[in-house]
Amino acid sequence: MFRYLYKDLLRWQASQDRKPLVLFGARQVGKTWLLKDFGQREYKNLAYVSFDRDEAACQLMITEKNAKNLLRGLSAITGIDIVPGETLVVLDEVQDCPIALTRMKALNEDAPEYHVAACGSLLGIALHEGISYPVGMVHELYLHPMTFGEFLLANGKEKLEEILTRCDWGIINSISSEYIDLLRQYYYVGGMPAAVKAYVDGKGLNEVRNLQKLILNDYDRDFSKHAPAQVVPRIRMVWQNIVSQLVKENKKFIFGAMKKGARASEFELAIQWLIDAGIVYKVKRVTSVKMPLKFYEDNDAFKLFILDVGLMGAMADVPASQIMVSDNIFKEYKGAFTEAYVESQLATTGIPVYFHTVEKSRIELDFVVQLNDNVYPVEVKAEENVKAKSMKVFIGNHPELKGIRLSMKNHENQSWIENIPLFAFRDYLKQRACTR
């Protein structure tokens, strides 16, 4: 299955000032598969080490600080000749041998001609446990669940994906029903590679849901295995409340909804653990829709989203019929699934994203994004009915801004707002972000 990040790996491989690579990402998003596939396709040899299974490799990292000796030892352990430019060295499950991250500094300074990549499911957690991270000495990439575009490619819809990347609105509008049907499928399957592969291979919706449940169980086991014991109950409480909080009219995360009298200070570590593990996205509120948005962050108000809309459906036990057959997934749940889908795609773009509420009013902007030198209020509508007062009133009070509406309607560009089909918005934003 093709991943967009493959192009970034090719650029890293060809870079004249290449540094060791660190690939971040949550468990089960396909990091190991991607690096192995890349190594097998683009190099003569692949030297692969997994620290959760190879104690000798971790011991080597602990005792050996010299870069050339490290590589010589890895060659002996893997049985692969490690040759500059011909061999990709992959160090997997680095969270089980965090000193390996520290050794990246020596590899960068003393053996830059070698191609070394590291990855792990809980690197974000490891970095908050006193590990000496080689800041500025590594090249970082982040792998998310598969996007809707990658889902199209996995299903053999290359032409449809190409049309989306070009933002060819005339063609997109004419075949929107086909995209909507595929988006409905994506809402159920999501972007976890194992679930996508099972679906593409025709193993059925029940198998897809079983795989999603297994992934969720893996996450739950991680809570007990890797998080501080005293924080685990609060991690589970936050994790299990995300779906119900997103179904509220006001999707801002409310601590009191989990436990009567709950305070933010009780759950700060739990929320940060979930964010560091890569399985939760945090979208902060901004107090003003102005450049740069970061200046106006409100750290006390935020929304939490699960990293994948398919996993969200599995957590909520939404039947396949509600997503694949009826229109309920678009009309019900107060747009929770649609906002979760939107955030999961936004997270892959690197575009700064927030939300905004107007004080002493009911006006709320679902998202606010910063593209180049402009900010755009974003309204998310789960269906074709796009009647809503918030955006109209907000733009009326801020005529210098232009809104973006994401909905099931066809593309339409008006003076005050541009309507982008939900299935096309990621490509639209990426294109706008690249326009100077």
Concatenating the DSSP letter of every residue in 170-196 gives HHHHHTHHHHHHHHHHHHHH-S-HHHH
Instruction: Tell me the whole-structure pTM to 2 decimals.
Output: 0.94
Range of the domain at 37: 5-142
Of 142, 162, 187, which residue is a domain's last? 142
Closest C-alpha among 338, 216, 324 to residue 280: 216
Task: Report the pLDDT value the prediction gives residue 248, as an integer from 0 to 100.
Answer: 82
Q: Render each residue's pLDDT in the chain as its tens digit; 436 residues.
A: 999 999 999 999 999 999 999 999 999 999 999 999 999 999 999 999 999 999 999 999 999 999 999 999 999 999 999 999 999 999 999 989 999 999 999 999 999 999 999 999 888 776 656 677 888 999 999 999 999 999 999 999 999 999 999 999 999 999 999 999 999 999 999 999 999 999 999 999 999 999 999 999 999 999 998 899 999 999 999 999 999 998 887 888 998 888 888 888 899 999 999 999 999 999 999 999 999 999 999 999 999 999 999 999 999 988 877 776 656 555 655 578 899 999 999 999 999 999 999 887 788 999 999 998 899 999 998 776 666 678 999 999 999 999 999 999 999 999 999 999 999 999 999 888 765 4
Q: Are residues 119 and 160 in the same domain?
A: no
Judging by beta carbons within 10 Å of its beta carbon (0-12, 13-18, 19+), is residue 397 exposed, middle or buried?
A: exposed
Q: Are residues 267 and 338 in the same domain?
A: yes
Three-state SS at 401: coil
Joined tokens for residue 167: 């933002």
CATH of the domain at 113: 3.40.50.300
Task: Report the pLDDT value the prediction gives residue 329, as an integer from 0 to 100.
Answer: 54
Task: Report the pLDDT value the prediction gives residue 349, as an integer from 0 to 100.
Answer: 94
Of 142, 173, 195, which residue is a domain's last? 142
Q: Which residues pair with 285 in a beta bridge?
A: 298, 355
Q: Are residues 152 and 137 in the same domain?
A: no
Domain count across the chain? 2
Q: Are residues 100 and 177 in the same domain?
A: no
Q: Are residues 109 and 196 in the same domain?
A: no
As a dihedral over the C-alpha atoms of residue 338, residue 342, residue 347, residue 350, rounded to 10 degrees, the angle is -170
Task: Report the pLDDT value the prediction gives residue 259, as an integer from 0 to 100.
Answer: 83
Of 142, 172, 206, which residue is a domain's last? 142
Gap between the Cα atoms of 114 and 132, Å rounded:
22
Measured CA distances, 239 to 33, 244, 259, 318 (Å): 27, 10, 13, 17
Concatenating the DSSP letter of every residue in 82-96 gives --TTTEEEEEE-GGG
Q: Are residues 138 and 166 in the same domain?
A: no
- Residue in the structure block whose two tokens are 């049985």: 79
Q: Are residues 29 and 96 in the same domain?
A: yes
Q: Are residues 164 and 81 in the same domain?
A: no
Q: Are residues 132 and 267 in the same domain?
A: no
Q: Are residues 155 and 297 in the same domain?
A: yes
Q: Are residues 10 and 158 in the same domain?
A: no
Measured CA distances, 330 to 97, 255, 305 (Å): 44, 27, 17
End-to-end Cα distance, the chain: 32
Task: Report the pLDDT value the prediction gives residue 427, as an integer from 0 to 100.
Answer: 94
Joined tokens for residue 263: 């305070």
Q: Are residues 130 and 207 in the same domain?
A: no
Joined tokens for residue 137: 């000495």
